[in-house]
Amino acid sequence: MAMTPEYALVHVFLPNLVKLKGAATVIGVIERKEKFFFDPVWGQAHIEHVPFLLSQVREPYRIGVVDLPPPKELGEAFYVGLVANKKDPTMGRYFTLEKDYVLKTKSDRTLVCEREGAKHTKHFDGPVLTGNKDVDAAAFIEAFMELLIPTKVTHKKDRQW
């Protein structure tokens, strides 16, 4: 699979920006709705895009979400989410809501994934997108925050006691 500009945006350019500036700084930009901050990143990927930005605070975390151009290929993302700890700004996590395809059902789905350095982890199915960016971004936040502040009990079917 060739690396598309949209794929490079999600998996190379934005992670590098977060690494250089720090998650807390980028979340601050999202909180202030400074869309122009991302212009060099879109230019680096040769993409024209005006991002939708959403931020939330959930003690002790600051959260920021940026929408991306609609994905055309697998592995491209709908949204990128960042989390920083208020008490430790060096702690930052980078999540993506990626496009995926299920062969068995011949249908698209979303995946909540996380990037940490060169490591890419696919965690679980993401929320179904509605087309309403406020609703979809909030649902994405709910999904990835489940990894930091679990609210659901999951039972493994194949657990050996």
Can you give the C-alpha Rg of the chain in angstroms? 16
Half-sphere exposure of 157 (CA within 13 A, CB side): 0
Dump the DSSP string for 29-63: HHHTT-GGGGHHHHHHTT------EEEEEETTEEE
Q: Where are the domains of the chain?
A: 5-148
Determine how many CB atoms are found less than 10 A away from the CB of residue 144. Answer: 25
Residue-wise pLDDT tens digits, 66-121:
999 999 898 889 999 999 999 988 889 999 999 888 878 888 889 999 998 888 88
| C-alpha–C-alpha distance, residues 34 and 30, integer Å | 6
| C-alpha–C-alpha distance, residues 33 and 47, integer Å | 19
pTM: 0.87
Q: Tokens representing 39?
A: 């212009």
Residue-wise pLDDT tens digits, 8-48:
999 999 999 999 999 999 999 999 999 999 999 999 999 99
Residue-wise pLDDT tens digits, 106-159:
888 899 999 988 888 888 888 998 999 999 999 999 999 988 887 766 655 554
Determine how many CB atoms are found less than 10 A away from the CB of residue 91. Answer: 14
With CA atoms as reference, report the closest residue to 82 among 53, 40, 51: 53
- Alpha-carbon separation of residue 28 from 56, 57, 63, 86, 129 (angstroms): 11, 11, 9, 11, 26
| C-alpha–C-alpha distance, residues 156 and 56, integer Å | 31
